[in-house]
Chains A and B, each alone.
Chain A
Amino acid sequence: MHNSTEEYLEAIYNLTRDGKAASTSEISKRLNISAASVTEMFKKLAGEDYISYSPYHGVTLTNKGSALGKKMARKHRLLERFLFDNLKIGKDKVHNEACAMEHTLSDEAERALCLSLKYPDRCPDDEKMIPPCDLDFATCQECREWNKGNFEELQKRKKEVIPLLELKASREATIAFIRGGKGMLQRLCDMGLTPGTKIRVSRIAPLKGPVEINIRGSKLALGNRVAGNIFVEAPDKIEQEERKG
């Protein structure tokens, strides 16, 4: 059952955003499946190296599982955006529609959908962030202008990226990807935020407030949403553990 693997990974991805493990009961509640079946599925997923599962501690995603879970969350939210913006389907209905469609959406169609929707960053129903794509582009403009060869020839990103907002304060990282339209990208580049530049977050105001960064020897304030669309290379695994701990 491929579909259910995707459903599970997407649910675990969403539940582990805060860095904590997801429990059997949370998943059972979310997917409306009995706890016994969930435990059964966990064993299967662990066997396929998608998750690491230890009874009583819950589950976390492996790199392989995380990539697929993130992809499903992305397809789901892109579809919601499309259903809501273009087809004018009600906010209360888009979730279920998208759930059914996400498994048949190919990666190529996912990219085309993202381009035609102009690189959306939030889904319509709960304003959750749409994860970035896994293609090796530094900006959306570059993706838009890419027009040679087949989709299959496109490179995948070599390093995982995380939004600037998830970077631990006072840690330095390299800008890997900027999501957004031409105007926003141009402005960010003009202010010194070009891909490949080192950036340091010095302060994140609470309650989705603005972010203060240091770049090229000066201080800038970025709105929370702007900072959410700037992605940096994820720190190494050890640091990630530290971040979660």
Chain B
Amino acid sequence: MKDTSISTDIRDTAGVIGNDNDGRLTLALVGNVNVGKSTIFNQLTGLVQETGNWGGKTVELKEGTLSHHGLQIDVVDLPGIYSFATYSVEEQATQEYILTQKPDVIINVVDATSLERNLFFTLQLREMGLPVVLGINYNDIARKKNIRVDTNLLQEILGVPVVDTIAIKGIGVHELVDAALEFLDEPVNNTSRLKYGIEVENRIDKLLELLNNGLSEMPSRWQAIQLLEGKNPALSADDKEMSAIVMTAEKLAGELVSMHGEDISTIIAAERYALAASITEKVISRKEAARKLSDIMDNIMLHPIFGYFIFFLTLAAILIVVSLFGEWVTGVIEGFFESIKPEIAGTAMDIFWNGGVIGFYAALIVAIGFILPFFLILSWLSESGYLPRIAFLMDRPCHTIGLHGMSSIPLIMGLGCNVPACMACRVMQNKRDRLIATFLTTMVPCAARTSIVLGLVGAFIGWQWAVGILFFQFLLIYVIGLILNKMMPSTSPGIIMEIPEYRWPSLKNVWRQAWFRFKEFLIIGVPLIVIGSVIIETMNVYNWLDYLTDILSPLTVSWLGLPAFTGVLLIFGILRKEANLALLFSFAGGAAITTIMTPLQMVVFTIVILIYIPCISTIAVLLKETGLKSTTLMVLAEIGLAILIGGIAYRLLGLFL
């Protein structure tokens, strides 16, 4: 591929050392949070992933392959970033990727509706002399707000290719790749029109001159500006020439400080913003906008009374919809399999039907009836822009446990699945906040666990009990938050978060996002449950189960008052939480679960399942995010709590059930 050598040249001029993978091109998508990077990524690669609409939803870099006019291109979607002076762990990841992996072209996606702030980051990319192609997204929303961006002029000023896109409709997305390829053929990298105030600019020039004379390495505006700001990562202490330059930089910075009467970092940020503002002024034509729908909606959604009312109504509606839908799906699937049920005769037939078939349809009920609707609703909410509003509303309540609003987002996401929710905790800047939020997130009943509450307690005892148990769980999370806050007092100053426009989610995107997570339940969860169910039924038929259940019986039978067989469920539940309900169905062998468990046992069992241990996938994420020590502590704490609370519930609730 002829492009490789050219692209390496560009990198060298940029003062960044070229890499080298097997000659395949890499395009990296970068930009502020909520600019539609993930949507563009989906459109390009067809590989489905999260495309949320709140501060830092894209938690891990996603890679995909694009085949463009017969060319195989790697596309990487990086977490949202506002500045190279990084703040959160996520932003660090993006910065590190750009600096160390050196993608061939950086596609900087910007939001047409808030161009000024978006260009602030673009200017940093330009200072670094990186190969950039700009994609202006949300042109549809901008039009509605009477904002028009003059793409040609912007291209001229920035000195890089600029492409208009409406990512959600796939418009301009492939043109972005064309522009990136053209760029590699014929690099456009003209920074001549990107100048800051004359005082700052003169000093940058002086430093550039020194850097040119003193070092063989290619200098860049970025290095000069970093030096001015008193930051220089590439400096070795014994380098005399370099330390002379650093001293000059300090002197120059001192002059600026006394001239502007501000500290140097603030001066540089203000210069960048001044330039971003003047560019925005030039390229945008804006007619007087009518009062925006988004503002009117916020008057209700963020209202100190109605706002919370709507929030709780939303949560209640989610539970009601899911439980009604789950009940209906259960009826349909069970009815179908009951109608084709053959005469059970002989051991093999018993294992096949009571183990395999019942395991299979029970798994389907949990997956389709409970997990899928949860994922659909949550992905719709996150696409709509409602989640940052929840963070705003919950900011005050979160302060009582020393966290801030941002942490309510992983907690809400945890209702779907704890795995991505734990990863979402990375948007928090403070380590202590991240740790507490992650711990609390693992306690949030995920769709799989809620399916047990709704499908077992809700279906066989009554919805009041189901709601009661969920309420208790949330109360427990809050109390644990209070305790953790006492142990590790808060030091964090609070949120600084963008509030995006509301967007009507594209159903295609919502479906793709939900399907991405759901697929995993189908591919891994269902077979695992069928296998587990067959194994258990086999052991049951040959009376081997007793050995296993005997070991656990002091705990399950004596302390928790549960039937002995639940010991097996608790062990399988570590692998997949949804296995608990599914395997219960197969234990009952087609009969109603009420024949094998009393209502009290159902409640105690459900409480224990909700608390006892994060599933194996969550534990894996915890290890990665918080380390071995914290993970071990969290798991042990949860096991201890489950045993303690389960035992108390058995003794206390026995008075009512």
Most buried by B among A136, A191, A202: A191
Contact with B along A192-227 (1 / 0, CB 8 A): 101111000011011111101000111111111110
Indicate whether A45 reaches chain B with its CB closer than 8 angstroms: no
Q: Is the CB of A192 within 8 A of B257?
A: no
Whether the pair A182, B265 counts as a contact (CB closer than 8 A) is: yes
- Interface assignment of A68: CB less than 8 Å from any CB of chain B: no
Interface presence of A190 (CB below 8 A): yes
Partner of B498, one of A194, A219, A229: A219
Given contacts A185-B265, A217-B114, A223-B405, contact A180 B273 (CB under 8 A): no
Partner of A217, one of B83, B116, B264, B388: B116
* Chain A residue at minimum C-beta to C-beta distance from B284: A217
Interchain CA distance A216-B114 in the complex, whole Å: 8
Given contacts A190-B82, A219-B499, contact A225 B493 (CB under 8 A): yes
Contact among B396, B404, B495 with A208 in the assembled complex (CB-CB below 8 Å): B396
Expressed in whole angstroms, the Cα–Cα distance for A216 and B269 within the complex equals 14
Q: How many residues of A contact B (CB 8 A)?
A: 46
Chain B residues in 8 Å Cβ range of A141: 263, 265-266
Whether A226 contacts B304 in the complex (CB less than 8 A), given A138-B261, A190-B269, A218-B117, comes out as no
Q: Is the CB of A191 within 8 A of B82?
A: yes
- Closest approach, in angstroms, between the C-beta of B326 and any C-beta of chain A? 35
- In the complex, what distance in Å separates the CA atom of A185 from the CA atom of B266? 8
A139–B266 CA distance with the chains assembled, in angstroms: 8
Interface size class of B (residues with CB under 8 A): 35 or more
Q: Report yes or no: A218 in contact with B114, Cβ–Cβ below 8 A.
A: yes
Chain B, residue nearest A138 (CB): B262
Specify which chain B residues have a CB less than 8 angstroms from the CB of A115 in the assembled complex.
none
Task: Indicate whether A145 reaches chain B with its CB closer than 8 angstroms.
Answer: yes
* Smallest beta-carbon distance A138→chain B, Å: 5
Contact, CB under 8 Å: A220 / B493: no
The residues in B between 114 and 134 inclusive whose CB is less than 8 angstroms from any CB of A are 114-117, 120
Given A190-B83, A206-B304, A210-B395: A142 touches B270 (CB 8 Å cut-off)? no
Q: Mark A39-81, 1 if CB is under 8 A from B, else 0.
A: 0000000000000000000000000000000000000000000
B304–A210 CB distance below 8 A: no
Q: Which of B66-113 contact A (CB under 8 A)?
A: 82-83, 85, 87, 113
A13 to B657 Cα, complex, angstroms: 61
For B497, the chain A residues whose CB sits under 8 A away are: 220-221
Q: Is residue A245 contacting chain B, with contact meaning CB distance below 8 A? A: no
The answer to whether B496 has its CB under 8 Å from any CB of chain A is: yes
Contact A142 B263, CB 8 Å, known A187-B87, A209-B396, A222-B495: yes
Most B CB within 10 A of own CB, among A136, A192, A197:
A192
A184 at the A/B interface (Cβ < 8 Å)? yes
Q: Which of B116, B263, B395, B405 has most chain A Cβ within 10 Å?
A: B263
- Complexed CA–CA distance, A72 and B580 (Å): 65
Find out whether the CB atom of B302 lies under 8 angstroms from the CB atom of A223.
no
Residue interface mask B391-406, A partner, CB < 8 A = 1: 1110110010000110
Mostly, the B contact residues are helix
Looking at the assembled complex, report how far the CB atom of A72 sits from the nearest CB atom of chain B, in whole angstroms.
26
Q: Per a CB cutoff under 8 Å, which of A145, A191, A196, A203 touches B117?
A: A191
* Cα(A52)–Cα(B115), bound, Å: 49
Q: Report chain A residues within 8 Å CB of B115.
A: 217
Contact of B395 among A148, A187, A202, A223 (CB under 8 A): A223
A220 to B499, CA, bound (A): 5
B643 at the interface (CB under 8 A from A): no
Q: How far, in angstroms, from A217 to B279 measured CA to CA in the complex?
A: 14
**Complex formed: what's the CA distance from A203 to B301 in Å?**
12
Instruction: Indicate if A189 sits at the interface (CB-CB under 8 A).
Output: yes
| Other-chain residue from B261, B270, B494 in contact with A224 (beta carbon distance below 8 A) | B494
Bound-complex Cα distance A220 to B262 (A): 24
Interface hub of A180, A221, A225 (most chain B Cβ within 10 A) = A221
**B354 smallest CB distance to A (angstroms):** 54
Known: A141-B263, A190-B82. A180 touches B493 (CB 8 A): yes
**In the docked arrangement, what's the CA distance between A89 and B180, Å?**
63
B114 contacts A205, CB within 8 Å? Answer: no
Judge whether B82 and A195 touch: CB under 8 Å.
no
B88 (CB) vs chain A CBs: closest residue = A187
Cβ contact within 8 Å between B117 and A183 = no
What B residues does A183 contact at CB under 8 A?
Answer: 87
Among residues of A, the one whose C-beta sits closest to the C-beta of B389 is A221
Q: Which residue of A lies closest to B114 (CB)?
A: A218
**Nearest chain-A residue to B118 (Cβ)?**
A218
Compute how far the CA of A113 lies from the CA of B304 in the bound complex, rounded to whole angstroms.
39
Q: How far is the CB of B502 from chain A (nearest CB, A)?
A: 11
Q: Which residue of B lies closest to A219 (CB)?
A: B499
Which listed residue (B265, B393, B396) contacts A189, Cβ 8 A? B265
**Contacts of B467-499 to chain A: CB distance below 8 A:** 493-499
27 A/B residue pairs, CB under 8 Å, sorted by A = A138-B261, A138-B262, A139-B263, A141-B263, A142-B257, A142-B261, A142-B266, A186-B265, A187-B85, A189-B269, A192-B116, A194-B270, A194-B273, A205-B396, A209-B304, A209-B396, A210-B392, A210-B405, A216-B114, A216-B117, A216-B273, A217-B116, A217-B117, A221-B496, A222-B496, A224-B395, A226-B494
Known: A136-B261, A203-B298, A222-B496. 20 other contacts (CB 8 A): A138-B262, A145-B264, A185-B266, A189-B265, A189-B273, A190-B83, A190-B87, A191-B496, A191-B498, A192-B116, A194-B273, A206-B304, A209-B396, A210-B395, A219-B498, A220-B496, A220-B497, A221-B496, A223-B495, A225-B494
Q: Which 3 residue pairs spanning A and B have beta carbons closest together?
A: A223-B494, A189-B269, A190-B83
